[in-house]
Homo-oligomer: A and B are copies of this chain.
Amino acid sequence: MTVTDINYDGGMVRWEPGSRERLVQAAFALYAERGFEATTVADIAERAGLTERTFFRHFADKREVLFAGSAELQDALVRAVAGAPASLAAIEAVAGGLEAIAAVLPDVEVARRRQRIIAANPELQERELIKLASLSAALAGALRGRGVPEPAASLTAEIGIAIFRIAFERWVDESNRRDLSALMRESLDEVKAVTATA
């Protein structure tokens, strides 16, 4: 039996199993080979053995392929923070959310390839900053949902995102052999140490 799906324009289209993953892999390979700028959506679709129309069913543009996991990451973070025991302090609920992020992230080699592509392109770095700002706003919202007042909610969210960003940078560093969870726990301990009142 052929699996079918209703397309956005109302027509019945064939659903290619794994097409999203094939597009991501084709895009990553081409961005690494030719650079992000020189790669077109047509190139990506061709490499994946799919049509451009299929590409645009999955992604708004060629940048979004690199940020395909960000909605899932945000969901994992918000769900973990919202679901943490009410007795946990805000910063510990955030720590649990960071563990949940580590669980949905890809393999470190995939993350390194992605990082190299983003590091080579200022437009992608801007997009990364915007995604992190959205993640911080969503995290602050989850904390307010736990009854944390402002400005504590926004400050705690910013601290959580800073821990994530800096641990992530260390994780994707070529010389690193430690896992992301350990690096995030270490960063949280550093934050507690640097903010401790003498």
Which residues of chain A have a CB within 8 Å of any CB of chain B? 89-91, 126, 129-130, 133, 151-152, 154-156, 158-159, 162-163, 165-167, 170, 186-187, 190-198
Between A154, A163, A170, the greatest number of chain B beta carbons within 10 A of the residue's beta carbon is seen for: A154
Q: Is the CB of B152 within 8 A of A190?
A: yes
A167 to B, closest residue via Cβ: B151
User: Which residues of chain B have C-beta atoms less than 8 A from A163's C-beta?
Assistant: 155
| CA gap between A175 and B193 in the complex, in Å | 35
Q: Is the CB of B198 within 8 A of A89?
A: yes
Q: Is the CB of A159 within 8 A of B195?
A: yes
Q: How far is the CB of A116 from chain B (nearest CB, A)?
A: 19
Find A126's partner among B130, B170, B196 (CB 8 Å cutoff): B130
A to B CB contacts below 8 Å, 11 in the list: A89-B198, A151-B186, A152-B190, A155-B162, A155-B190, A158-B158, A158-B162, A159-B195, A191-B195, A192-B196, A195-B196
Q: Is the CB of B158 within 8 A of A165?
A: yes
| CA gap between A82 and B155 in the complex, in Å | 25
User: Which residues of chain B have C-beta atoms less than 8 A from A197's C-beta?
Assistant: 192, 196
Which 7 pairs of residues, A with B, have the shortest CB-CB distance?
A158-B162, A195-B195, A129-B129, A156-B194, A154-B166, A151-B166, A152-B190
